[in-house]
Amino acid sequence: MLIKERKINGVFEIQLKPQKDSRGFFMRVYDEKLFEKYRINKNWVQENHSFSSEKNTIRGMHFQFPPHAEAKLIRVINGAIYDVHIDLRKNSINFGQWDSIQLSRENNKMLFIPRGIAHGFCALTKNCEILYKMDNYYDSDFEGSILWNDQEIGIKWPVDKPILSEKDLNAKSFREFVKKSKGL
C-alpha cells in the first residue's frame, strides 16, 4: 500500500497492491498502523454503498455541516469514476480549490478525504459501485451541496450533459455557500 498526499492538504491517494494468482487476488485495503503514520486513521462508524447504473451520472458536490462533518475513505469496486473534491475549510490555504482523480476497480486506488471537503463523482462506466467509509454519522438536517458546475469553482467534468438528481440541480453556488456560512 502506497500513500501520497494530493494537491489539497489532508487529501490522500492510496494505491492498493493486490497479490494475484490463478485463483484471483488478495488485497489489504486498511492498515491502522500505516494510516496512523499519515494521520488518516479514523474510527469509521458508517459505510455506504453507491450504485450508478448509467455512465455520465454525476453525484455531488455533497458535504455535511459541523458537528456532522465527515471524513471519507472511498473505493470503487466496480467500474470507474472521476472523483472530485472541493476544499470548504475556511482556514485552509486550499479554500475554494478543487482536485480530481480517477478511481476504478482496475487501478486499485482509494481516496481519503478529510472533514470540511465537498465530494462528488461522475460515473465513467455503466454499473459503477462505490464503497465509502465515514467517521461520522450522516444527518440530513446538516447536509449541504455546492452546484456541480459552479463557474467560480470551474470543475472540468468529463461530460457536458450529465444525469443529475433534482437535489444536485438545485444546489447552492459556492458564492452563496460562502456568503451564508463563510466556510466549514
Report the chain's mean pLDDT, rounded to a whole number: 96
**Domain harbouring 122, CATH code:** 2.60.120.10
Structural domain contains residue 13: no
Query: In this predicted model, what pLDDT tens digit does every residue of 137-172 receive, in sequence order?
Result: 999 999 999 999 999 999 999 998 999 999 999 999
Q: What is the pLDDT of residue 114?
A: 97
User: Per the domain annotation, does 10 fall within a domain?
Assistant: no
52-65 confidence digits (pLDDT tens): 999 999 999 999 99
Domain boundaries, position 108: 44-181
Q: What was the pLDDT predicted at 184?
A: 92
C-alpha cell at 18: 493486490
Tens digits of residue pLDDT in 79-118 = 999 999 999 999 999 999 999 999 999 999 999 999 999 9
When pLDDT is cut at 50, 70 and 90, the band that residue 71 belongs to is: very high
Tell me which of 82, 85, 119, 132 is the catalytic residue: 132
Where do we find the cell 461530460?
Answer: 159
Q: What is the DSSP string of 80-137?
A: EEEEEEEE--TT-TTTT-EEEEEEETTTTEEEEE-TTEEEEEEESSSSEEEEEEESS-
Q: Report if residue 53 sits inside a domain.
A: yes
Inside any domain, residue 130:
yes
Percent of the chain with pLDDT over 70: 100
Backbone angles phi, psi at 180, to 5 degrees: -80, -45
* Residue among 69, 74, 60, 58 nearest 111 (CA): 74
For the four alpha carbons of 128, 78, 155 and 30, in that order, the dihedral sign comes to: positive
Given 62, 68, 85, 137, which residue is catalytic? 62
Q: What is the pLDDT of residue 152?
A: 95
- Domain membership of residue 1 (yes or no) is no
Examine residue 15 and state whether it is found in any structural domain, yes or no. Answer: no
Q: Please say if 62 is a catalytic residue.
A: yes
Number of domains in the chain: 1
